[in-house]
A and B are shown apart, each in its own frame.
Chain A
Amino acid sequence: QVQLVQSGSEVKKPGASVKVSCKASGYSFTRYYMHWMRQAPRQGLEWMGVIDPSGGGTTYAKQFQGRLTMTRDLSTSTVYMEVGSLRSDDSAVYYCAAYGSGIHASFDYWGQGTLVTVSS
């Protein structure tokens, strides 16, 4: 079955970086783009960006450009999301999600979420 398994919770100090992993299984890794979202406590969902696992191309939301990096490792079917220059308002649950488009639009799977806490 399709699974996206994310790395565990992180506690970071302001100014540091955090790297979250998302390991995919149960489907062809390069077939579907991987998106990252985050959700601050008691807030809504925020789309951060997307990576094409096939070619590695990325698109980031404007508010994250310059401090967000997404990469992938084809050998392990894993996508990574790194946020730098962390601030307290980056504290959130971070989710990866693979979803399709067109005739594959029903393909939609999410990781379990990774809690990132930024605190001095």
Chain B
Amino acid sequence: EIVLTQSPATLSLSPGERVTLSCTASQSVSMYLAWYQQKVGQAPRLVIYDASNRATGIPARFSGSGSGTDFTLTITSLEPEDFAVYYCQQRSNWPYTFGQGTKLQIK
């Protein structure tokens, strides 16, 4: 089973700031990594697929990069609606494991 480790666990930031979230895989997942945003009481929403492709309707301030074992999700200028929990998920091998999440909270 591929283990995904996200860092940091929690980030306290202000609107307008830039943020980079990290996801590291225990073995290569090639480009098959997705990022999800989840708000309280809601199902997760796809943000990035295949490491660097924005999902439909996702603003351009979101970008993803990486391949192999190291991936990042960057939000260039945080908007109030971006404060949520972000999960990475590998879709290289079953089981399609998730990272433990990074919580973005307002400072």
Q: Which residue of A lies closest to B38 (CB)?
A: A45
Asked if residues B49 and A62 are in contact (CB atoms below 8 Å), the reply is: no
The answer to whether residues A35 and B43 also contact, given A105-B50, A108-B55 and a CB cut-off of 8 A, is no
Which residues of chain B have a CB within 8 Å of any CB of chain A? Answer: 1, 34, 36, 38, 43-44, 46, 49-50, 53, 55-56, 87, 89, 91, 94-101
Interface contact B43-A47, CB-CB below 8 Å: no
Bound complex: CA A61 to CA B46 (Å): 22
| Residue total for A at the interface (Cβ-Cβ under 8 A) | 22
Q: Contact between B98 and A50 (Cβ–Cβ < 8 Å)? A: no
**B46 lies within 8 A of A50 (CB):** no
Secondary structure class of chain A's binding surface, majority of residues: strand
CA distance A105 to B34 in the complex (A): 10
Please state if B97 and A113 are interface contacts (CB–CB under 8 Å).
no
Q: Are B43 and A113 in contact (CB under 8 A)?
A: yes
CB within 8 A of A62: which of B34, B38, B55, B95?
Answer: B95
- Give which listed residue, A44, A46, A108, contacts B46 with CB less than 8 A: A108
B94 → A minimal CB distance (Å):
5
- Report which of A47, A95, A105 forms a contact with B96, defined as CB distance below 8 A: A47
Question: Which residues of chain A come closer than 8 Å to B49, judged between CB atoms?
Answer: 105-106, 108
CB contacts (< 8 Å) of A46 on chain B: these are 98
**Residue A112 CB within 8 A of the other chain:** yes
> Contact at B53–A105, with CB atoms within 8 Å?
yes
Closest approach, in angstroms, between the C-beta of A10 and any C-beta of chain B? Answer: 18
Q: For A101, list chain B residues within 8 Å (CB).
A: 91
A88 at the interface (CB under 8 A from B): no
